[in-house]
């Protein structure tokens, strides 16, 4: 399992290619003109802050992707109900929601079950 940490990189000279590679590798703070004792704590603070902000954005993107994938599954299950049971879209959505509540499951789990049943011809 990969554990990510904030990284501060101190260099004596600027190199555009090295800067790009460092950013791609996950460097949170890239400091030119080397390491000086009086700059260490502020640079570490900035690196940690930027790292945390990036991790939050990364998590939000992951959550959005998951929500979209789940929404697509629910939409496919609604389409099955609309076709097989001649339901309107709101009625199909309400049916999935009611089944989820009745079974104590999430809507996406009920939708996946409906799609599996449809694939098996049940």
* Model pLDDT for residues 46-96, shown as the tens digit of each residue: 999 999 999 999 999 999 999 999 999 999 999 999 999 999 999 999 999
DSSP string, 27-71: -SEEEES---GGGHHHHHHHHHHHHHHHHHHHHHHHHHHHHHHHH
Residue 42 sits in a domain of what CATH number? 1.10.10.10
Instruction: Report the number of distinct structural domains present in the chain.
Output: 1
Confidence (pTM): 0.69
Report if residue 19 sits inside a domain: yes
Report if residue 77 sits inside a domain: yes
What range does the domain containing 27 cover?
8-120
Report if residue 2 sits inside a domain: no
Report if residue 3 sits inside a domain: no
């Amino acid at each position: 399992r990969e554990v990510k940490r904030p990284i501060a990189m101190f260099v004596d000279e600027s190199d555009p290619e090295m800067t790009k590679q460092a950013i791609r590798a996950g460097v949170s703070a890239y400091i030119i003109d080397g390491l000086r004792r009086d700059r260490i704590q502020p640079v570490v603070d900035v690196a940690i802050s930027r790292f945390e902000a990036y991790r939050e954005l990364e998590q939000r993107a992951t959550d959005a992707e998951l929500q979209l994938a789940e929404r697509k599954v629910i939409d496919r299950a609604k389409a099955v109900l609309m076709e097989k049971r001649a339901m309107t879209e709101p009625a199909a959505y309400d049916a999935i929601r009611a089944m989820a509540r009745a079974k104590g499951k999430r809507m996406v789990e009920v939708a996946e079950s409906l799609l599996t049943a449809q694939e098996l011809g049940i």
